[in-house]
Homo-oligomer: A and B are copies of this chain.
Amino acid sequence: MTRFAFTLEFDGTPFFGLQRQGDGPSVQQSVEEALHRITGEDATLHSAGRTDSGVHALAMRSHADIAKDIAPFRLMEALNAHLRPEPVAVTACEVVADDWHARFSCIGRAYEYRIRNRRAPLTLERDRAWLVTRPLDAEAMHEAAQALVGRHDFTTFRSVHCQSDSPIKTLDRLDVSREGDAIIVRTAARSFLHHQVRSMVGTLSLVGLGQWRREQVAEALDAGDRAALGYNAPPQGLYFVKAIYPGEETP
């Protein structure tokens, strides 16, 4: 068996998420079925992160073990051919060591959340960003966000469906910046809880709207209670942008 690592880009709109779900199409199922058609094997795809329905990826990292003798470039090309017309693309493929694991070897994950802050409906970015029609103060959001950076119990910002062993995580970065009528939230950590990024962005949006004082974000964190959550931002603004592995790059 050879372990192949893949870099996946996908539009999450038509999927129920990256990982297989009982109830609908998933990126994992699409890739595994394409692998089956190419190799005749029933390989399992493991990925650096899980994503919700509607969430996108610019560079998800995944792996699968394949017995068939095939060069990485050919496997990438065949996967892309078999994945059409679904909006999933393999942008890189390489052979990795047998103990390299897309999920368990991953030491850093980065997400981006895109908000458009304007009255007009979205056209080119429909399903690609969260439209907030009332004015947001991005500077206030950035300042409030800094209370979340560091090692904390993120229970407040965790889905009830979260499967993580512990709600304690170290958030390395949570930056909010405005570029015209776009507001971009960039965040990085070793790992995140389920819904953590969307919960943080949703809560920060209340600060941006002036409905919450900045200190209330720290208070919600300290509460350690999902009921203290301000708001869970919708999935279509969220992008998985990077997974980091030892030796590849420092997080």
Contact = CB atoms under 8 A, between A and B. Distances in A.
Interface of A: 9-11, 56, 58, 76-77, 80, 83-84, 87-91, 118-124, 126, 128
Given A124-B56, A124-B128, A126-B87, A119 B76 contact: yes
Copies in the complex: 2
Q: Determine which residue in A10, A83, A91, A121 has the highest number of CB atoms from chain B within 10 A of its CB, and name it.
A: A121
Nearest to A124: B11
Nearest to A89: B120
B119 A87 contact: no
Contact of A121 (B89, B118, B124): B89
B9 A77 contact: no
Contacts of A90: 120
A124 B91 contact: no
A11 B89 contact: no
B9 A120 contact: yes
Contacts of A87: 123-124, 126
Nearest to A13: B124
A123 B10 contact: yes
Contacts of A83: 121
A87 B201 CA distance: 26
